[in-house]
Structure 1
Amino acid sequence: MLREATRDAHEAAEASAGMRRLLAGDLDEAGYRELLAAQLTLFGEWEAERREWLRHVAPRWDYASRANALEGDLAAEPVADTIGSHPSGSDAPGRAGGTLDSAEAWGELYVIEGSALGGRLIVKMLRERFPHLRHRFYAIGERTAPWRRFQAVLDGELIGEEAHRAALNGALAMFARFQRTLQDHAAHV
């Protein structure tokens, strides 16, 4: 359902000037680093917004922090790959499972995890173009659990029409954030 309902938003994000320049190999190293920094802003904000929710869902899905991967790509020293562990002995407070807000967050995560699939293709090109750089962010798809497993978790989390609507709203909002980030970056390079 999400794939069909977000097809146009997905295509618009992929067609953004920033993504076209990346895929065409039109970014020099400085432009590529600026793109990574723009994405760090996006994922840093999202992960901060959803921190407690991500901790709550950790037993069902092991989210690899995109912000940490991006920091690792931009920094000289390695950075951890996880957002944090589930607090022992209690449920994490804040945005948690079982609510429409949670369904919206699952929709957002659908877009993020789906982008890791494309990242596996992009990282091959980046490794050839910039072999001296790390590329941890675009390589996340090589280290995360298979997409089919995520889809199964998503199917178990999104029960009912209201949850599907909330997830769709979250997915569309996340595609819009991706598109804005890629367009804003292209306008500044």
Structure 2
Amino acid sequence: MKGRFGSLAQALAAPPSELREVGGQFGNACEMLVAAKTIVEAAQREQLQSVPVDPLNPQLLIYLRSRLCRANEERLLVVFCDAEQRYLVDEEMGWGNDHQVRCDVSRLFKRALTLDSSKILLAHNHPSGDCRPSDDDVNSTRQLALTAQVLGIKVVDHLIVTSDRAYSMRSGGRF
């Protein structure tokens, strides 16, 4: 498994379908990894559902890191919230390489409208370990926020997370 994924952390970051492809002598271990990952993420989401989504909440940052920071490529996670900013669901809505992420904007907002989500929190990882936003990060966030506003949706914040830090684009004045 190490040869396929490079490390246990990368195996944990892999989609369940890729883990299941390994099969063979590691089939049971892969199924156990998928199950353990599912249980831990469910417990973390359960904690998020009990309080309004707050970009400064340490539990939220732990959850975002667990979802995003094991990957070698950038990923965008969208946390959909109701009018009181309570957690509804989160979904990966963008993927990229080691220095940029692309998002299907129409898919993101279609999902928000389907969920009747009036607020969203954006979060993506920087595998480099540097959580400062790039110009592309800032411009993309501003465009998403303008589109959201037209649809009556508020972008609460856009967090850039690394394994040991997080940057709030709202707090940093980059919105």
Higher helix share: 1
Higher strand share: 2
Structure scoring higher RCO (CA < 8 A, sep ≥ 6) equals 1
TM-score when normalising by structure 1:
0.29
